[in-house]
Structure 1
Amino acid sequence: MNATGTRARRARGGAPALFLSFAIVLAACEENPPRPSEPERPAPPPPQPSAVSAPPAASSVAAAPSAGAPGDTGEPKGTPAWQGTWEGRYDAKKGSVVLPPKVKDAERQKDDGKQVAGPGTVTLIIEPSGELKGTAKGALGNATIGGKFEDGMLRASVFPEDPRAPNAMTGILVGELKENVIHGRIRVTGPDALLVRESPVELKKK
């Protein structure tokens, strides 16, 4: 057998083996086809805390400030006990005058207490600051009142609306707040200081 025949037989014998190898590779590819490369997925976000279990912010649990007593710093203040409109009545009578020993005052002794005497009314408006104003009407004549409420005490001046009236009475009104009532006293005198009138006054908030 010459060399040409040998090469031909080798070629014929190698062809089936090559075809078989190709078929095996092709079958393997069909059974496990290569997967296309997938894009890398981002990592899932960390779990968020439950709204129920999350502790509330400090500002959300802070209680709303309640109305405090007057004078509480930084807290809303309630209505002061003295603030408002107050009304009361008086019944003016002859007032006493203390004279030095052995001093006689004949003119004042002539006062029988019947003039400029009797009932009347007092109305006051007291602001939160303690400033007050008001009026008096009745036996003592029409008057305006102005003063101050401070440290539980009322101190005011009484001025006649017509200072030129014959019996225009000028004086003071003082009092103290106890158990929602201002227990006061009005004391006034006439232009010549011969007539002196006074009376207790109980003022209650309207």
Structure 2
Amino acid sequence: MIQLSAIVVELTLRAGSLDLTQDLSTSGQTGEGVGGATPPVPPLKINSFTKRGSSGESPFHQLIGRSLDDLQTLGKELFMHFGDFCLRIHFLMSGQSFNNNQQVDSETGGKTETPTLELLMYGDLLTFRNSAAEIRPSVTCLMKYEELNNLDICSPVFNFKRAYSLFREQHNRLVCDVLLDQFILPGVRNIIKNERG
């Protein structure tokens, strides 16, 4: 059995731009129903959350009880759509995600003391560390994704010609600064600017 929260975490750390719409209807199933038919999957909802530095009411409270409608990645950003609201996670320089306290990507080091955000979704704990989390309107995140998706070098729809054209338009800028421009190559890390031959 593969639970959706595990798929969310694993696909996020690949930094590819993925649309899980088709997976949302099949993931988390426990077996076949009568006559080989697959039983319906309950919508994945947030039961509770813990946010570092938040006490009392916060914007994250509006996610409780909402169903996950869609999931997208763009560079180092994860967009989790819950109706009109989008939970945006930015993995910063060394962001990590954990599924039920199991680190998904072993290359990013150990746990920090306090998670940035923890989501409890039907018994599965999804934890983000060394990351930024905020609530945005879904329409804003969707527009950003649609505009920049084919410029994400890890996206299966990466458009080299478009990226090259935008790159060539940047006169009087250092190459390292153009590489770090998130509107030209979203997700390219600062480490590139600091590395030398």
Which structure features the higher share of strand residues? Answer: 1
Structure 2 length-normalised TM: 0.23
Which structure features the higher share of helix residues? Answer: 2
Q: Bigger radius of gyration, 1 or 2?
A: 1
Highest RCO, 1 vs 2 (Cα 8 Å, sep ≥ 6): 2
